[in-house]
Structure 1
Amino acid sequence: MLTYDVDIWSIRNRKGRPKPFELRWRVGSRAHSRSFKLKTQAEGRSSQLMGALRAREQFDEATGLPAAELAALNSPTWFEHAKAYALMKWPKAAAKHRASIAEALATITPALVTSFRGAPEPKVQREALYAWAFRAIRREDGTMVCRADDQEPPAEVAAALEWLAQNSMKVTEAARPENLRTALNALSLKLNGAPAADNTVHRKRMVLSNALRYAVERDIVQVNPLARVDWSAPDKDDEIDFRYVPGPKQTASLIAAVREQGTRGEHLAPFFGCLYYAAMRPSEIADLREGDCHLPATGWGELTLGGSRPEVGAGWTDDGSSYEQRGLKRRARKATRPVPIPPVLVGTLRDHIARYGTAADGRIFSAVRGGRVSSTEYSGVWDAAREAALSPAEAASPLADVPYSLRHAGVSLWINAGVDPVEVARRAGHSIAVLFRFYAKILRGQQARANQLIDQRLSSEDEG
């Protein structure tokens, strides 16, 4: 029991004993003592106890220790706590978020150790933590456990986990500012020592903060100590570099080049058309079904998007599949998003369905065996199309270097065409804040054009 009822008595000298100087104190109804060889040692310990009293810290009646010392004594290691945090988050976290948590903890944990002597290779540590310590599995009785606690890992992974278990700091020690700064510096770097991307740093720092909040919830520490650390994450620069976003003519050439990449290219060309003309995310295209499409014989059509299939590793999903069935990004599970599509995409989708049909569940794009079209498949086709459609200098540059560039190109086209930013954000599935953060440069250009129109109107009013 914790109490403020504490008395610290004077040090007495018991001559003839190996440790003659005895410090005595009372906590509640129980007396405690500790003997020291030197008087200065006893006085030092007495000062520590008095300091805890002056700080209005409670003492534990059973052990006689100040509350902070008792917490440190009972504290789990950071490695143990990080495993507990990953297990706590697992049941309600999306598969990609599970993998993101594991990645962040696998970066942070090797930095919070008491010694680096005999440390395994960084890649082995990362694999041991990411794939074994922070990945959960469900046993037959329904309980969730870390994979390493249920399956036998390879020898080098087992050795790495054993080393980390023995050398991991206590959470109370890891919460010291100098140690947290070490962890923050670690998450700001890639495994090869190069600076990590700004968004990666912010994402991993959030995981660290949340893990420390969980330590507060578990009564391991009193407050989240991260706010006390004088460390600044890199400034976020989310604005897209539009030098490398393809224009309408380049995009048309790229999609045409996709069609020329054999059978796979012909099958996937409409996939890239959805990326551009509807500014869809790849995960949304993977879940697009014939029933979601209004494809008239002439004129504009409409897609009613209601789900997505983000690609993740099989180890992060509940059913072992390589993708996860989800609702739209940052929307309620059953929310939908209607997106008008121009005649060029209407015709492309009509022809595709007529030629290839749909999967058993109505999906328009599927792999040969009915599964999700993998990113490696459509990325490979895209790389070949870039080489065919772009000049050697353009192909060597970051211009349209990934298929997702087409989504940026589609949103840019809408903005440059004068579509209201609110409508652009709605069609793309963005918030207004995100739209302005990513497309600020284009939107600033639209503002200049709006100012010119206002000037013209004001001038005509003056002349009248």
Structure 2
Amino acid sequence: MKTTDVRIWDVRVKQRQGKDTYEVRWVVAGREVSRSRRTKGLADKLRSRLLMAQESGEQFDTETGFPPSMEEKAPALTWYAFALKYLKVKWPHAAPNYRDEINEALTGVTKALMPKRPGRPTEAAMQRALRDWAFVLPSPEDREIPPEARAVVDWAARNSPPLADLAKPAVMRGVLEALMLKLDGEAASSETFKRKRKVLVNALNYATELGEFDDNPVHSVSVEEPSRIVPVDPRVVANPKQAGNLIGAVSYVGGYHRARGRRLVGMFAGMYYAGMRPAETVGVAVQDCHLPEEGWGLANLHRTRPTAGKKWTKTGEVHDDRGLKNRDPKEVRPTPLPPVLVAIWRDSIDTFGTADDGRLFFNERGGLVGSSTYSRAWAEARELGLPPELVASPLADRPYDLRHSALSTWLNAGVDPTEVAERAGNTVEVLLARYAKCLHGRHVVANKRIEDLLLEYE
């Protein structure tokens, strides 16, 4: 039924989940209708359109509450079709790691939206098909893909809900809660959730630009984020003697090709003695280092070579080439090198030289050292450098644990946290939160100081 009996009220402010929202209200033939918007500007825009329709003499529908010119219509796009469209826009300009993040987020959202009905592919099959084939360019419609993957992506295309469903708070909440979980069902870290949510926000900003939504529907739902910082497990932290034994054991791995292990000694030493990240040691070059014959040296870190995967990089190489983690691409981090590390790096240069671009550590062909290569070497070194009961423990289980061990050692030695954070490339807040459980004996020092203070007033 249509009517011109319409009254439009002023915008009012409402509190929703601790945030202000702006509600537009109007009455159609005695029935109140309302819509909320995230900002006052968006609310005023909606109210202005209603007023213009009323002034032009349009009749409002008594069921929908809208005039013909403003009838709310569901977007023609499905979520899956929109995700492919968004991917084509973002992919050419995205860095390799960001391509991986886009792929991961779109996969998570797509799985969360797919209906639970007979014929739905298994979680593992859907994960493989979406990650490896659907959300990678060229897209599935532009190339041949394996039959099992084709079956999954075709099912997703047929069964994908409309993009409009994401405007429903219950649907959006389900998506965000799904993004808070890892593949094994365990809670993801805050950093992982924020990374995936950021992609979703960016994608739906694009949908809003296309006119599919009046406002980004992500902002209509608030969920409690996972713990912001995941603390380091104290059990992975090696003491200086254990770390030294493990680094020494690296030189014995590789069987008949023992030189493979010896090439990597300096890499692992950099992770422990200088607290460097693995991707930083892969990219460190001699021209960025001061390596004196005696005393402390210095490495001006500005480049990392993280393993990204061939399908993410524009060059088809396995490694990305980028600046320091969470820093401006041109930022340089001066990192002091203790004498023991300077000696190890000088010995490596004397024995193996450097790569064509000056990198200290490289494989037999002069290429970049892959994460699978140094991870295998580290697993072998643990077998050689630790007693059996510790091999079965989490102690220094991954190469990255050498960095954890370094930072924990420095903090326990009483080095000022600001200095430790600067050397490590972290903030003090993150440093103390991550390594709080690894600060052995600090409570004893605190107890003694409190006890001494109280004795002064007896």
Most deviating of 406-415 and 55-64: 55-64
1:440–1:115 Cα change, 3 Å: closer
Residue of 254, 266, 273 corresponding to 1:277: 273
Cα RMSD for the two superposed structures:
3.4
Larger Rg: 1
CA distance in 2, matches of 1:51, 1:286: 67
Alpha-carbon deviation of 1:397? 1.6
Kindly, what percent of the aligned residue pairs are identical? 42
1:207 matched to 2:199? The reply is yes
1:386–1:272 Cα change, 3 Å: same
Alpha-carbon deviation of 1:375? 0.8
Question: Does the CA contact (< 8 Å) of 2:408 and 2:439 recur in 1?
Answer: no
Question: Does the CA contact (< 8 Å) of 1:79 and 1:165 recur in 2?
Answer: yes
Q: Secondary structure at the match of 2:74?
A: helix
Q: What's the CA shift string for 1:370-397, capped at 9, x where partnerless? A: 2210111111111111112222222112
Partner residue in 2 for 1:165: 157
CA distance in 1, matches of 2:60, 2:95: 44
Question: Does the CA contact (< 8 Å) of 2:260 and 2:363 recur in 1?
Answer: no
Q: What's the CA shift string for 1:240-271, capped at 9, x where partnerless? A: 11122111111111111111212222111111
Question: Does the CA contact (< 8 Å) of 2:91 and 2:99 recur in 1?
Answer: yes
Partner residue in 2 for 1:21: none
Partner residue in 1 for 2:103: 102
Partner residue in 2 for 1:385: 381
1:148 matched to 2:140? The reply is yes
Alpha-carbon deviation of 1:202? 4.4
CA distance in 2, matches of 1:453, 1:368: 55
CA distance in 1, matches of 2:317, 2:227: 36
Partner residue in 1 for 2:125: 124
Alpha-carbon deviation of 1:134? 1.7
Most deviating of 62-71 and 148-157: 62-71
CA distance in 2, matches of 1:275, 1:178: 46
CA distance in 2, matches of 1:296, 1:188: 48
Partner residue in 1 for 2:394: 398
CA distance in 1, matches of 2:158, 2:382: 51
Letter of the structure 2 residue corresponding to residue 346 of structure 1: V
CA distance in 2, matches of 1:247, 1:72: 64
Q: Secondary structure at the match of 1:332?
A: coil
1:112 matched to 2:107? The reply is no
1:243 matched to 2:239? The reply is no
User: Which TM-score applies when normalising by structure 1?
Assistant: 0.79
Alpha-carbon deviation of 1:176? 1.4
Most deviating of 213-222 and 301-310: 213-222
Partner residue in 2 for 1:135: 136
Q: Secondary structure at the match of 2:329?
A: coil
Q: Secondary structure at the match of 2:358?
A: coil
Q: What's the CA shift string for 1:255-305, capped at 9, x where partnerless? A: 111112122221111110000001111111111111111111111111111
CA distance in 1, matches of 2:222, 2:330: 43
Most deviating of 222-231 and 98-107: 222-231
Alpha-carbon deviation of 1:405? 0.3
Letter of the structure 2 residue corresponding to residue 178 of structure 1: A
Q: Secondary structure at the match of 2:311?
A: helix
Alpha-carbon deviation of 1:338? 1.0
Ranges in structure 2 where 5+ consecutive residues have no aligned partner = 7-26, 36-45
Alpha-carbon deviation of 1:156? 2.3
Alpha-carbon deviation of 1:148? 2.0
CA distance in 2, matches of 1:90, 1:372: 25
Question: Following superposition of structure 1 onto structure 2, how do residues 316-395 of structure 1 map, counting pairs within 5 Å?
Answer: 316-395=312-391
Residue of 242, 246, 266 corresponding to 1:254: 246
Q: What's the CA shift string for 1:226-252, capped at 9, x where partnerless? A: 344464344345111112211111111
Ranges in structure 1 where 5+ consecutive residues have no aligned partner = 1-5, 11-24, 26-46, 137-145
The total of aligned residue pairs comes to 412
Alpha-carbon deviation of 1:343? 0.9
1:350–1:454 Cα change, 3 Å: farther
Most deviating of 55-64 and 114-123: 55-64
Alpha-carbon deviation of 1:457? 8.6
